[in-house]
Amino acid sequence: MIYTVSQCEPITAKTCVLRATHKGKGRYRSLAPGTAAVRHLHYGRIILDAGDPAVEFGTGTHETGLIALHGSATIEVAAQRFTLTPYDALYVPRDHAVRVTPAVTHAVNQNAAGCDLAEISAPVTGQYPLQFVAFAEVRRDPNLHFAAGSPSCERDLNIVIGKNVQAGRIMAGVTFSKPGNWTSWPPHEHARLLEEAYLYIDMPAPAWGLQLVFTDSDEPELVAKVVEGDVVVMPEGYHPNVAAPGSCLNFLWMMAAHTEVADRQFGKVNVHPAYAAGGSGLEAAHEKK
């Protein structure tokens, strides 16, 4: 199915901005259809302190990606056990039971105690394999980790759940900017294939940035100040952002394809016509090295 602009909810602060999604405890969901302008994409957190009881849940009809943001956790699925440390990921198929246990206090590394996981999911009909992704392996793969953009908009891009993972709808990764830089530049959009959201991470106060989402560059529908823990949804439109001077704008990007499998394509974007001559900056994701 092809999604058109008329099928998207209006781009407004009410439909596209969620604040302070990192302030909860336990397992909770912040983003789902009905809470913001998404049709398929769900996002929540699993935040546990050392010594907290394990969290157990079923994925139901959703494929689920768990990405460690802080600390460490042991994940048990289908009689297998995985340890996640920051930015490792685990893809869990639909119809599976999951058990998450936070790391205990470690005398050598106190920061490893407890866990903070992003939980990303979307409904699917297909069954895809259980898959673990080590962030260290992502960093060694030039098709998954590369510098994108020119000096004023250069960023460190890491595809954590992409073509390296068999899945139906979801994709995710982490992007780290340089202080004061633009990212997601040149402006691009991909609403016919995917909906997307940015979760801003690793931005200790007073770091902040500005996120734009627009279909008309002369009259942007959304210009929002963003800080650690905020989420901005991009149901359609171009979505560049910029860090404040001295600040880095870092984010976990998460996507859900409109059509299962067929639309799950990273980097297939429409660049704003004014900037299209220079390419998207995402070409490295499609190169074979």
User: Whats the size of the chain, residue-wise?
Assistant: 289
pTM: 0.94
Helix or strand run (H / E) with residue 64: strand 62-71
Q: How far apart are CA 236 and CA 249, in angstroms?
A: 21
The pLDDT, as a whole number, for residue 277 is: 84
Q: How far apart are CA 232 and CA 243, in angstroms?
A: 15
CATH superfamily of 5-283: Jelly Rolls (2.60.120.10)
Could you read off the pLDDT tens digit of each residue along the chain, which spans 289 residues? 233 434 567 899 999 999 999 999 999 999 999 999 999 999 999 999 999 999 999 999 999 999 999 999 999 999 999 999 999 999 999 999 999 999 886 545 555 689 999 999 999 999 999 999 999 999 999 999 999 988 899 999 999 999 999 999 999 999 999 999 999 999 999 999 999 999 999 999 999 999 999 999 999 999 999 999 999 999 999 999 999 999 999 999 999 999 999 999 998 899 999 988 877 778 667 665 4
Amino acid type, 209: G
Cα 244 to Cα 7, 180, 190, 203, 226, distances in angstroms: 34, 5, 26, 11, 10
The pLDDT, as a whole number, for residue 133 is: 98
Helix or strand run (H / E) with residue 67: strand 62-71
The domain limits of the chain are: 5-283
